[in-house]
Structure 1
Amino acid sequence: MDAGVPFQPLPPDAPLAMPTQSLRQTSPHQASPHQAPPPQSSQHYAPPRSGRFASAPRAMALRRLLVIGGAIVMTGFGAREMYRVLAVNGATPLAVFMLALFVALFAWIALSFTSAIAGFASVLTRGGQRLAAPGALPSTRTALLMPTYNESPSRVTAGLQAIDEAIQGLGAAHLFDIFILSDTTNPEVWVQEEKAFLDLCRQTGGPGRIFYRHRANNTARKAGNIAEWVTRFGAAYPQFLILDADSVMRADTLLALVRAMEAHPDVGLIQTLPIITGGATLFARMQQFAGRVYGPLIAHGIAWWHGAEGNYWGHNALIRTIAFAEQAGLPELPGRKPFGGHIMSHDFIEAALMRRGGWAIHMMPGLEGSYEESPPSLIDLAVRDRRWCQGNLQHMAVLPARGLHMISRMHLLTGIGSYITAPLWLLFLLTGVLIALQARFIPPDYFPGNGKSLFPQWPVIDPVRAMWVFIGTMALLLVPKLLGMLTVMAHRDLRRGCGGFLGLLGSLLLETLIAGLMAPVVMLTQSIDVVAILLGRDSGWNAQRRDDGGVPLRDVVRLYRRHTILGVLLGIGAWAVSPYLALWMLPVVLGLALAVPLAALTARRSLGMALRRIGLLRIPEEVHPPEVLRRAQALARTSAIEPLAKPAPNSVSALLHDPALLAAHRQMLPPPRRPRIDPLNVALLTGIAQLTEADCLDTVWAALTAAEKIAVLSDGPALDRLLALARRDADPIGRPAEIAR
């Protein structure tokens, strides 16, 4: 750190009110529709809440009619054909139930299909950048927020250092401040974060521009972390951008976002399309290939018909601070977990509330330079999905909120449907098996009713029509993949980056095959999660694994044995009924029966790297990575292989043997509790009681819980006691061993 720059962990407070929003009534308008913005800033005023946004594309009603209306027409046609399949001579209760499931699931697929068609047209016409505002450097200051929760500190700071160096390279360092907002609950990781923050400041010349704050009380999780920053520092920054722990963004992309927001005062949020990169395991490489080839098509499609009523994915998005503070204060949902309490999947809700408050929400899928990473294995995806599933199911309590735009409600329904459809698919499959069993083992009633009919009613299902319904449904699922491939083929650089025509085709076939086998595994996992959540089991809040996807085989067997058993039973049952039923069920049966080897093999780094070497599942960003991504990956690799000569046994020893770190830690401690004002900290009181009677640091440190360790490390007198115990353990005469030597 520069000797002439004083250590400044945080800037001066700039409070901004962030009132909690009501779901039962809309908040009062804070500016009249014709109110001019204050002369000192065009960024801090509320736009009109009715009428067309100046930033909105034209003909939005027609666009939505084409996409939604087209999906409705297709669903109606599919429902009619399925009815003819199931009810040639009358519908049984099972057939009616299966038809209802089919209509709901087909509507989901049809909407995705029509949206993909819109995306295909938008990509070919190079849409998706209509908010772009070319020009010089922006005129306002932006905060880059990095919320972190028990993540690898070196990994987090590697990305931030790469971004900061890129910003400095464009001469824009004075326009961006970086905040590391820690909600970490692991005391060892917390102290490592502080050290990584100091190193980052030294390496970038960042004191006064790069800040760090640790929040000991993790109220409302990530949403509460961001809200705390807004209420404490938000007034100093017209806009802020939220990064994820694996996020990297190009400097020119950041500047383009800020210019776009400055040029469109009605915009409250601009979401980029993060491209998945950095995949090493087979699973992660499949995810990044699918995201690179199909993702832009999907993003362009939803941007085309969402318009100014877009969505928010929680990171890699620029947000107008006043819009967020005014409208995005999340209420606490009534009831107990998993549906009550703090909102977990907050991003959809925040976008819906900002749009309700009169702010435009846009996506810019054509703006390149936004990157993220994928979970490394099917198991890690399941862990993340379990948390997201609970958060999305909470949206059912927000759906009836007053004043939400129709498209915002569709976003919420989409979030719910992304998990509810899994048990619906499972029910659909099981219902089909039951209908087959009924036809095979239950004698039909050829003369129902009074039995006086002259002609029998044959229990027939139209097999030819059933085949065409199946083919049509598969076409709706596969055509968007082919369209994604065509959009890549249309651009020479993208085509070469994906391995040319043969490499792209081979990758598409491989990804489709493995993804098809994994689909029933994910379906059953999500179905189990939905049932567990509906039964009241909270998912908790766990840090996400982001590197190696390797998992011991016994753990894979333990997690996926139910999938294997169900797959084998379905296969046996289908074969007992009919070989034709067994053939129809084969993709589902194979996927479930092979769940264990699928999960184990796709988590292997060696297999993913072998496919990369032969040109499969490649993406342009790994063939010719942008400089910021290359730099972030190099910094992460360097920090991962740097040897630790004498790793500290615990965070107290780490502080004791690093005077600069200890001094910075003391300076970053929260203010002491105010008697009779602040609530008692039970963890701190318990920790102090144990420290008072302790004679050995190792013993008391092992006895303290994580919450108690965080509490005593956050308290000045308790920290002094910890350091005294550490010195006593290091040297009987009371000096650190290094000093004694």
Structure 2
Amino acid sequence: MSGGTHGDRGLDSPRSFLEYASSRAEERAKNAKLGRVQAYLSAIAPIGAARVRVRAAHLIQELPEDAPPEDAVALAQARVGEFWEAAFGTSDTGDLAARRAIARKPDAFLDRDPQALSEMRRLYESFSVEADLVPQPMAPSRLRALVGILPSWLLGAAAATLLFSITSGPILHRIPWSVLLGILLALHSNATTLALLGVFGRVRRAQEKERADGSSAKEPLSLPDTAIVIPIYHEDPKRVFSSVGAMRDALERTPHAESFTFYVLSDTQDPFVAADEERAWRRLAAVPRSVIPVYYRRRPSNTGKKAGNIAEFAVRNEQRFRYMIVLDADSLIGPGTILELVKRIDSNSRLALLQAPNDLRGGETIYARALQFGHALAGGILLRGLSRWSGGNGNYFGHNAVIRLSAFVRSCGLPKLAGAPPLGGPILSHDFVEAALLCRSGHEVRFAHDLGESYEEPPPSLEDYLTRDRRWCQGNLQHLRLVTAEGLTTLSRIHLLYGALAYLASPLWFAFLILGALSPFVGVTIDDPRLALALTLGAFGLLLFPRVIATLHAIFTRRKEFGGLLRLLSSVGIEFLVSVLLAPIMMFAQSQFVFEILSGRTVSWGTQSRDGSGSSNLFDPRLMIIFFSGIVSGVLLMWSSELLALLLAPIWIPWVLAPLLSRLLTHQGLSRAFRRLGLLRVGTETAPPPIIQSAERLRDYFHPDETSRFRDIVLDPALNARRRQDLEASSPRELTSEERALIEKLEERVLSRGPAALSSEERALLLNDAQALARLHREGWKRWPVESWDLPRPMHAESRER
């Protein structure tokens, strides 16, 4: 064949064909080297794809043309190591502070210019120190009394006086018994006041015109730049990123999408969980044509816990964003609510924080669904009453709120309390204190009580609730030391005080019941049984009033939301029964919490269980303590007085039943039956809003993959280094020669055939050996086809120089 297309190209001759094939092979080899080096540099430094291509091309030029891809990776590793030593004074390429410095000055990566290296060192040192807010002074003031809640306390005083007047006997017994009743009724009557305000209260016409929160009637053409931040710590990445994805997708369908940026701020220290987080983030961030960016930043240590995490972001991004919306790991907010929060705070220059409602959703167990139903029934009414009572001196629940960033940075540096924990040291519950500091600096804190589509998830079991409640108890009792701080508004002091009294009420009830049980034995008698009965009925009526008024409000205004009148009333009865059974258990547990804290036992914030299916341990130590206390109390009461044992049966019988109740309330079969019957149904189940449906659909998209987790821990410098540090810190035993031989055999197999060539048990062996992880990290980049994989890559959460 002498002509035609092939003849023109010269491929019909053996020599020409061999030359063409050889050139193609050289091109493929060059592309393989280039792709592998690009993959390695992308995992090391957050400098962008274009800069990675340029740096990789320069490195390839230093190699002979016939050099294999592994030599190219080895050269890249050497150059990166030299740069790391020159710029940061360390060989640890997994150092997160170094990555963040490179993200701020990406053009300086691998630059040997002394000025560039000096600037990188300066940035590295600044990121190596945790950014924090300036602590605000909270010295005690001369204020000796708090006012503004007189009606509740007058009612309590009247009840105490009545009890004292209708009894006779030892005065040293009657006085504390009467005083305790007065204090307890004063505390609980506050909920009745809020319920009345929530249902019947009216705001002034001017406030109604402004919707009581600073909202403007004019639709703005654009919104200020707003960061939506989600601080997480050892959370389920599937749950977190499905919610972020749903919120981003919904916001992108609005005209203000370009005003928002998502930041997932991780404090996770476990490299296995961090690997899943980063992989879920990569999947979310890689969505093409997305208008709203999603950034992921992980701190090397969780200094200051959640408050410190948010504080560092606020300090470093104050000039970039006007507002930040703080969410929790289980938060989910609809796009309309997000836009409305920003519009309202932007229309009122004095408003520093606007708190959205925290409606419960996603409960699957009977326990979670009972909490969810009770909150749906009365929560909105109470929040509306609280909003109308507190006005511009509202409170902060720690998430689902928009915050003016400049005011937060200048006002919300948390002080460190004198003394050691649990009542001293860092403030555990930061949200109430931050709201008080904002109000003290002249800003307003308000509730957006009328907004919807703002959700969080309930704890799935009683044990999970108690774990969380123990931390809240310690944090709220710390607030007692701040109640008299100088400059706080009266309502801020009341918020702090009542937060602590919510837990102190349990031991006060305990003491009141003990004094009542001892009354017959010390000679206290009731002089007027009719007045005593009236007082008892009045006290119970006061406790039940918020629930009754909320039920009536639901019957007349939104019974369809709960599945109709019959299901609503049935659910109210079930929720009331669950509350009655759990109230004595919570009284015992919270009294125990207070005693532990006062005796010096401390806890810290940890991972929260958010698994909707829930689980309950029949032999949970806390519940077993309550169980045995119930047994002992019942026996002693029956021995002393059968009548007294009968009267106090609503207290000690639930204690005996505590483990069984906890198990029944998380029983999956019973929970499914309740759902099928429509019991404890709420509006998000009757007609789920689009944002919830979208989040549920995305759950499986972020399902963790064990093989990919292994690959990421091997290749990612930060995850690999952290895992090796954890292993070395645990002082592992020395491997035998047979075990070391097995490890080396597995190393060779996984390097030659890839992570999928090992079983779960074999991958676990390698992940538990620091020496193997070091070798796999070094050789994996050289021998695996990393250029074709979706690999870990660092991402910054700071603004770059512009």
TM-score by length of 2: 0.73
Number of aligned residue pairs:
636
Cα gap change, 1:82/1:414 in structure 2, threshold over 3 Å: closer, same or farther?
A: same
Instruction: Give the conservation status (yes or no) of the 8 Å contact 2:260–2:292.
Output: no
Secondary structure at the aligned position of 1:329 is classed as coil
Match of 1:20 among 117, 123, 135: 135
Aligned counterpart, 1:654? 712
Once residues 684 and 647 of structure 1 are traced to their aligned partners in structure 2, the CA distance between those partners, rounded to angstroms, is 21
Structure 2 residue 578 is matched with structure 1 residue 476: no
Secondary structure at the aligned position of 1:169 is classed as coil
Instruction: Give the conservation status (yes or no) of the 8 Å contact 2:429–2:475.
Output: yes
Aligned ranges for residues 388-537 of structure 1 at < 5 Å? Answer: 388-439=472-523, 459-491=525-557, 494-537=558-601
Shift of 1:261: 0.8
Q: Which has the larger radius of gyration?
A: 2
Aligned counterpart, 2:393? 309
Shift of 1:104: 1.3
Aligned counterpart, 2:255? 171
Cα gap change, 1:398/1:723 in structure 2, threshold over 3 Å: closer, same or farther?
A: same
Aligned ranges for residues 32-43 of structure 1 at < 5 Å? Answer: none
| CA distances 1:160-202 after superposition (whole Å, capped 9, x unpaired) | 0000001001132211111111111211111211111111101
Q: What amino acid is aligned across from residue 337 of structure 2 in structure 1? A: T
Instruction: Give the conservation status (yes or no) of the 8 Å contact 2:132–2:312.
Output: no
Aligned counterpart, 1:44? none
Once residues 282 and 629 of structure 2 are traced to their aligned partners in structure 1, the CA distance between those partners, rounded to angstroms, is 53
Cα gap change, 1:240/1:21 in structure 2, threshold over 3 Å: closer, same or farther?
A: same
Identify which range, 532-541 or 135-144, moves more after superposition.
Answer: 135-144
Structure 2 residue 187 is matched with structure 1 residue 72: no
Match of 1:630 among 664, 689, 693: 693
Shift of 1:533: 1.2
Match of 2:231 among 147, 153, 163: 147
Shift of 1:436: 2.9
Once residues 85 and 549 of structure 1 are traced to their aligned partners in structure 2, the CA distance between those partners, rounded to angstroms, is 51
Q: Which has the higher helix share?
A: 2
Cα gap change, 1:6/1:139 in structure 2, threshold over 3 Å: closer, same or farther?
A: farther
Shift of 1:636: 2.1
Aligned ranges for residues 555-570 of structure 1 at < 5 Å? Answer: 555-556=619-620, 558-570=621-633
Once residues 581 and 542 of structure 1 are traced to their aligned partners in structure 2, the CA distance between those partners, rounded to angstroms, is 42
Once residues 181 and 741 of structure 2 are traced to their aligned partners in structure 1, the CA distance between those partners, rounded to angstroms, is 66
Cα gap change, 1:621/1:288 in structure 2, threshold over 3 Å: closer, same or farther?
A: same
Aligned counterpart, 1:93? 172
| CA distances 1:115-173 after superposition (whole Å, capped 9, x unpaired) | 21111114999977543334145430100010000001111101100000010011322
Shift of 1:315: 0.2
Instruction: Give the conservation status (yes or no) of the 8 Å contact 2:257–2:292.
Output: no
Aligned counterpart, 2:681? 618
Q: What amino acid is aligned across from residue 110 of structure 1 in structure 2? A: S
| CA distances 1:322-347 after superposition (whole Å, capped 9, x unpaired) | 11111000111121111222111000
Q: What amino acid is aligned across from residue 99 of structure 1 in structure 2? A: S
Shift of 1:737: 10
Aligned counterpart, 2:214? 131
Cα gap change, 1:697/1:296 in structure 2, threshold over 3 Å: closer, same or farther?
A: farther
Secondary structure at the aligned position of 1:647 is classed as helix
Once residues 432 and 683 of structure 1 are traced to their aligned partners in structure 2, the CA distance between those partners, rounded to angstroms, is 58
Shift of 1:76: 2.5
Secondary structure at the aligned position of 2:287 is classed as helix
| CA distances 1:369-392 after superposition (whole Å, capped 9, x unpaired) | 211110001000000011111111
Aligned ranges for residues 198-217 of structure 1 at < 5 Å? Answer: 198-203=282-287, 205=289, 209-217=293-301
Once residues 20 and 692 of structure 1 are traced to their aligned partners in structure 2, the CA distance between those partners, rounded to angstroms, is 47
Q: What amino acid is aligned across from residue 318 of structure 1 in structure 2? A: V
Cα gap change, 1:386/1:516 in structure 2, threshold over 3 Å: closer, same or farther?
A: same
Q: What amino acid is aligned across from residue 339 of structure 1 in structure 2? A: L
Aligned counterpart, 1:367? 451
Aligned CA RMSD, in angstroms, stands at 3.7
Once residues 528 and 741 of structure 2 are traced to their aligned partners in structure 1, the CA distance between those partners, rounded to angstroms, is 79
Cα gap change, 1:9/1:487 in structure 2, threshold over 3 Å: closer, same or farther?
A: farther
Shift of 1:555: 3.0
Instruction: Give the conservation status (yes or no) of the 8 Å contact 2:397–2:431.
Output: yes
Aligned counterpart, 1:254? 338
Once residues 569 and 621 of structure 1 are traced to their aligned partners in structure 2, the CA distance between those partners, rounded to angstroms, is 43
Unpaired segments ≥5 residues, structure 2: 1-41, 43-47, 53-98, 106-122, 745-768, 788-802
Once residues 518 and 190 of structure 1 are traced to their aligned partners in structure 2, the CA distance between those partners, rounded to angstroms, is 37
Shift of 1:217: 1.8
Once residues 617 and 457 of structure 2 are traced to their aligned partners in structure 1, the CA distance between those partners, rounded to angstroms, is 24
Instruction: Give the conservation status (yes or no) of the 8 Å contact 2:238–2:700.
Output: no
Q: What amino acid is aligned across from residue 361 of structure 2 in structure 1? A: T
Q: What amino acid is aligned across from residue 707 of structure 2 in structure 1? A: P
Identify which range, 468-477 or 147-156, moves more after superposition.
Answer: 468-477
Aligned counterpart, 1:329? 413
Structure 2 residue 309 is matched with structure 1 residue 225: yes
Identify which range, 262-271 or 424-433, moves more after superposition.
Answer: 424-433
| CA distances 1:473-501 after superposition (whole Å, capped 9, x unpaired) | 1111111111112222232xx31120111
Aligned counterpart, 1:103? 182
Cα gap change, 1:620/1:693 in structure 2, threshold over 3 Å: closer, same or farther?
A: same
Instruction: Give the conservation status (yes or no) of the 8 Å contact 1:652–1:722.
Output: no
Secondary structure at the aligned position of 2:274 is classed as helix
Identify which range, 630-639 or 349-358, moves more after superposition.
Answer: 630-639
Secondary structure at the aligned position of 2:215 is classed as coil
TM-score by length of 1: 0.78
* % identical equivalent positions: 32
Cα gap change, 1:460/1:339 in structure 2, threshold over 3 Å: closer, same or farther?
A: closer
Aligned counterpart, 1:445? none
| CA distances 1:599-646 after superposition (whole Å, capped 9, x unpaired) | 111122332221121121001111111101111122225545x7x4x5
Q: What amino acid is aligned across from residue 546 of structure 2 in structure 1? A: P
Once residues 9 and 552 of structure 1 are traced to their aligned partners in structure 2, the CA distance between those partners, rounded to angstroms, is 42
Instruction: Give the conservation status (yes or no) of the 8 Å contact 1:137–1:255.
Output: no
Aligned ranges for residues 525-604 of structure 1 at < 5 Å? Answer: 525-548=589-612, 550-551=614-615, 553-556=617-620, 558-604=621-667
Once residues 459 and 575 of structure 2 are traced to their aligned partners in structure 1, the CA distance between those partners, rounded to angstroms, is 16
Q: What amino acid is aligned across from residue 261 of structure 2 in structure 1? A: D
Shift of 1:400: 2.2
Once residues 540 and 211 of structure 1 are traced to their aligned partners in structure 2, the CA distance between those partners, rounded to angstroms, is 27
Instruction: Give the conservation status (yes or no) of the 8 Å contact 1:377–1:549.
Output: no
Once residues 360 and 269 of structure 2 are traced to their aligned partners in structure 1, the CA distance between those partners, rounded to angstroms, is 28
Q: What amino acid is aligned across from residue 661 of structure 2 in structure 1? A: L
Q: What amino acid is aligned across from residue 222 of structure 1 in structure 2? A: K
Q: What amino acid is aligned across from residue 163 of structure 2 in structure 1? A: M
